[in-house]
Amino acid sequence: MRRAIALSLENVELGRGGPFAAVVVRNGEIIGEGTNQVTSSNDPSAHAEMLAVRAACCRLAHFQLTGCEIYTSCEPCPMCLGLIYWARPDKVYYANTAEDAAAIGFDDSRIYRELESPPAARSIPMMQMLRHEALAAFRAWQEKPGKIPY
Selecting among 10, 13, 33, 49, the annotated active-site residue is 49
Closest CA to 30 of 47, 9, 53: 53
What is the rounded CA–CA span in Å between residue 66 and residue 47?
21
- Report phi then psi at 125, rounded to 5: -60, 140
99 is catalytic: no
Q: Is 137 exposed, middle or buried (0-12, 13-18, 19+ CB in 10 A)?
A: exposed
Catalytic residues: 49
